[in-house]
Structure 1
Amino acid sequence: MGNYAGDHAVVLGGSIAGSLAARILADHYRQVTIIERDQVAGTTRPRRAIPQGHHIHALLARGKQILDEIFPGFTAELVADGVPVGDFGTSLSWYFNGRMMKKAETGLVCVAAGRPLLEDRVRRRVHALDNVTYRERTDVMGLVASPDRQRITGVRVQPNSIEGAPEEVLEGDLVVDTTGRGSRTARWLVELGYPQLREERVRMDLTYTTMDFHGPLTFDPIGDDIAIIPVATPAMPRGAFFARLPDRYAISLTGILGDRPPTDHKEFLAYVESLPVPEIYKAVHDAEPMGPAMSFHFPFSIRRRYERQGRHPEGLLVVGDAACIFNPVYGQGMTVAAMEALVLRQHLQQGPIHPERFFQDQAKVIDAPWGMSAGADLGFPGVRGRRTVKTWMGNAYIPRLQAAAAHDGQLTVSFLRAAGLVDPPQALMRPSVASRVLRAGRQ
């Protein structure tokens, strides 16, 4: 490629969002450097920097489509590795308020790889690019700005593998922050004289607890499928993901508003027994655990409103969880990061990056998944956050659609296409869909 946007782009963070951003940047910069505080090469186990990595992760349908677009043959490679693959509407059993949505073919492919394996395969693809370098075991200490503070010109970094190692400045034409929930960019910008960043928060006080089990199971309700998912609702607030992974079975229990699934084996099974799908308890009550249960506490979702900032320095973007942290129950994080990578590609193809325009287009990508997940959380009376008329309307309509889908496969397809971020949420209000929901309500 002859026309480069710049000589050097620096990506802060080497997880899914960072690796996807680097893949896009590699087509537009002569050199791309990924700064990662962990050792990640060849890692297929949960990492210290990713405490949620122990738990079941979902790659939504739109995310899978994008990965196959920017990494041709990606799904086929996972299948060759033995990763279970199926249709979102037939290989997963979705339960709302104890009722299973009617199974129906959606044409949307579910890839049950688990986060560590998925990250490793993405990183392998990116690492193979000649102009991309991972700098592992390196901490980001701060941003470097031009004398007038109108442009970010690089970052200060420090190796963490050698005690007392000196800081160094890594110059870059573009810096992309993908450091996740702990991003310090908003604070650093204030220190440079930029306005305080606006945030929206939805506090649901979620706890995940996951236990892995050896297979085969004496009683296996999943069979050749991928997962059974009783989704938490205001009427039945305990939820779970019971999945068949390449080398194990796993259950991730979810509890909100202070209801914390325990790590003790006996108490863990008692929580499983309280779920509205008794087949899950029957499957694992005598199964052999692969190790102790792991818990992860998630107090609130955060949307950082970079698109509403009055001023932005040139040469700095923020993507992935550094821009918006979604409730992990809905599995949106990795897919939204992939969608943001496409926004980045679009802006690079149009010419020089303008942060204001990028953040405006990024916000359009975030709007739908944020509205769906935050809105669903706010359907629980004890969850704290801003409720709008749209929120109230959604929480009156969607449960009716889910109930009607227990007998109507077309509604299952419509719901899963929207939940998979393939269709916009407005698609659920189309006359062809709403009429089926209303007809089921009358019946």
Structure 2
Amino acid sequence: MTGNGPHGRGHAVVAGAGIGGLLAARVLAGVYERVTVIERDALPDDAAPRRGVPQSHHAHGLLSKGFEVLEDLFPGLGDDLVARGAIIRDAQNDVRWVNDGHPLLQAESGLRCLMVSRPTLEHHLRTRVAALPGVEIHQRCEVVEPLADGATGRITGVRLLRVNAEPEELPADLLVDATGRGNRGATWLRALGYEPAPEERVDSGIAYVSREYRRRPGDSDVDAYVIGAEATAPRGGVALSGEGDRWLVTLFGMNADLPPVDPDGYHRFAERLPVPDLHRLLQRLEPLGAPRMMRIPVSIRRHYERLTRFPEGYLVFGDALCQFNPSYGQGMTVAACEAAALQACLAEDPGDGLARRFFRRAARITDVPWDMSVGGDLRFPFVEGRRTLRVRLLNRYIGRLHRAAAVDPAVGRAFLSVANLQVPPQRLFAPGVLGKVLRPRAARPAVAAPVVAPAGVAADPVAAEPAPRSVPRAAA
């Protein structure tokens, strides 16, 4: 061990200074004497996109659960970001949701959502983490490979490569791989004499095109739009209010139906969305730049919890553990929940077996959003995957739920509580919801609620209902 802390906890190295790496470093800083974050990018001094995070130009969703966890880890985070122009709103009352062509009825839900750009959120977290005692963030530096004791297999450090420098070795008691979608985990494990984790892959064929617009008072009676794709219309879009008096609009398409990057084609694509709401908004807005495209890599889940052999002192975190279809907005929230799980594992015992215990907890966290996103992707016939009877029945049920949510705010609140990872999917089958879904009233257009900031987090009656133990997880 390299350190002499009260429990023998010395030096932790986190590879990657994205959202996942910063959250891991925040938790480790409460346990390890030293935490070194290694980032190969040049990190901007302000809230600006960077090369290693090309998705930062596009709309990001921080679900209600993720916002809750971040405020626990970084007290005052919400107020600090609001002071920088971010917006906190009610996820049901202040957002226009359209799922399978059905507008979700707006009403107060008590589910707080944070509308902030990825660069602003990451810059704020990086500033807060860098100020923690014992934490250092090294930029333009890359972890080339982990180092381990040949006899025990325990991680002893990492080999680093800085810009215009010779490789160097940095001793460490713990390595956290938070290098995101481009991680080299399989290569690193094989080099250490271990098998890589088994993987699940789902390719939705999705691509994003985003554009910024000026936001003015009176643009809209809501602060965000979320237009989901339909099985017969594999396209959708998101418009989020944000800091700097901007709207950030992201249109997405799947398979061969992709948004164009020329401005006229971009607007014509918006006109082809399942409902006209977002296109009508764009007709009123002043663009601030050209559209930008990003093709989304395949969704991959790595089952580290299934490995029987794994080196001590090595963890995998965030997108390196599971990378989701980003149209569901789950990635940052799952990383936040993993940080809370890591904190609990360290509190129990930071010693041997940490990876095994963390991977088990992380797998339980990942189960629900992975099933939701994969089940949703499998609605589209061009997405390859096994469509079990369970998946088909659940997707059919969710389709009926969306119709019911257009006329009943309690059903909509139940759906959003699950989608925001606040309650387990079994709540969608609670008696008070199940009856309304199976015997829905005739759908009518949702009535837009006035835009009001929530006074606080209201109690969610759905969350108080007991969950039937025999009901499987739902796909959305």
Give the TM-score range, shorter chain: over 0.9
1:246 is aligned to: 243
1:200 aligned partner, one-letter code:
E
Residues paired across the two proteins, number: 437
Secondary structure of residue in 1 paired with 2:296: strand
Q: Runs in 1 of length 4+ with deviation above 4 angstroms?
A: none
Aligned pairs for 1:6-405 within 5 A: 6-148=9-151, 150-160=153-163, 162=164, 165-216=165-216, 220=219, 222-223=220-221, 225-247=222-244, 248-285=246-283, 287-351=285-349, 352-354=351-353, 355-405=355-405
Counterpart CA distance in 2 for 1:131 and 1:259 is 49
Q: Secondary structure at the match of 1:263?
A: coil
The alignment partner of 1:104 has SS state of: coil
Shift of 1:98: 2.7
Shift of 1:152: 1.6
Cα deviation, residue 41, structure 1: 4.9
Q: How far apart, CA to CA, are the structure 1 residues paired with 2:233 and 2:8? A: 52
Relative to 1, partners in 2 of residues 1:387 and 1:309: Cα closer, same or farther, differing over 3 Å? farther
Give the match's secondary structure for 2:33.
strand
Read off the aligned partner of 1:148 and give its amino acid letter: A
TM-score scaled by length of structure 2:
0.88
Output the amino acid matched with 2:104.
M
- Local SS of the residue matching 1:317: strand
**1:68-120 CA-partner distances (Å, limit 9, x unpaired):** 11111111111222212110011101012332100121111111111110111
Is structure 2 residue 415 aligned with structure 1 residue 415?
yes
Shift in Å, 1:441 = 6.5
CA distance 1:215–1:103, shift in 2 (3 Å): closer
Query: 2:426 is matched by which residue type in structure 1?
Result: Q
Q: Secondary structure at the match of 1:285?
A: helix
String of CA shifts for 1:344-369, please: whole Å, max 9, x gaps: 11111111251222211110111111
Q: 1:397 to 1:215 in 2, by over 3 A?
A: same
Give the superposition deviation at 1:39: 2.1
Change (3 A) 1:17 1:196: closer
Partner of 2:431: 431
Contact 1:85 1:110 in 2 (8 A): yes
- CA deviations on 1:17-38 (whole Å, 9 max, x unpaired) are 1001001000110000000111
Q: Secondary structure at the match of 1:29?
A: coil
Residues 240-249 or 188-197, more deviating: 188-197
Distance in 2 (alpha carbons) for counterparts of 1:5 and 1:107: 43
Question: SS of the residue aligned with 1:153?
Answer: strand
With 76-85 and 29-38 compared, the bigger mean Cα shift is at 76-85
Distance 1:41 1:128, change over 3 A: farther
What SS does the aligned partner of 2:230 have?
A: coil
- Read off the aligned partner of 1:309 and give its amino acid letter: L
Letter of the 2:71 counterpart: D
Q: Secondary structure at the match of 1:379?
A: coil
Deviation at residue 431 of structure 1 after TM alignment: 1.8
CA RMSD of aligned residues (A): 1.7
Report sequence identity in percent.
43
Deviation, 1:196, is: 3.5
Q: Is the 8 A contact 2:208 2:252 kept in 1?
A: yes
**Counterpart amino acid of 2:226?**
I
CA distance in 2, matches of 1:284, 1:326: 28
Rounded Cα–Cα distance in structure 2 between residues aligned with 1:5 and 1:366: 31
- Closer/same/farther in 2, CA of residues 130 and 196 from structure 1, 3 Å limit: closer
Change in Cα spacing, 1:364 to 1:82, as seen in structure 2 (3 Å) is same
> What stretches of structure 1 of length at least 5 have no aligned partner?
none
Shift of 1:413: 0.5
Distance 1:26 1:310 in 2: 29
Contact 1:207 1:259 in 2 (8 A): no
Contact 2:214 2:286 in 1 (8 A): yes
Q: In structure 2, the residue corresponding to 1:120 is in which secondary structure?
A: helix
Q: Given that residues 234 and 257 in structure 2 are in contact (C-alpha distance below 8 angstroms), is that contact kept between their aligned partners in structure 1?
A: no
Does the CA contact (< 8 Å) of 1:102 and 1:407 recur in 2? yes
The worse-fitting range, judged by mean Cα deviation, of 54-63 and 250-259 is: 250-259
Structure-2 change in CA distance of 1:4 and 1:81 (3 Å): farther
**Contact in 2 for aligned 1:146/1:152 (Cα 8 Å):** yes
Instruction: For 1:27, give the aligned amino acid.
Output: G
Distance 1:263 1:408 in 2: 38
SS of 2:440's partner is helix
CA contact (8 A) 1:5 1:28 kept: no
Give the conservation status (yes or no) of the 8 Å contact 2:255–2:382.
yes
Paired residues of 2:203 and 2:298 also in contact (CA < 8 A): yes
The CA deviation at 1:285 is 3.1
Q: Deviations over 1:380-410 (max 9, x none)?
A: 1211123333322221111110111000000
Task: Return closer, same or farther for 1:279/1:379 CA change in 2, 3 Å cut-off.
Answer: closer
- Partner AA of 1:17 in structure 2: G
TM-score, reference length from structure 1: 0.95
Give the aligned residue type for 1:289.
P
Provide the C-alpha distance between the structure 1 equivalents of 2:5 and 2:73, rounded to a whole number of angstroms. Answer: 20
In the alignment, structure 2 segments of 5+ residues that lack a partner are 444-476
One-letter code aligned to 2:107 = A
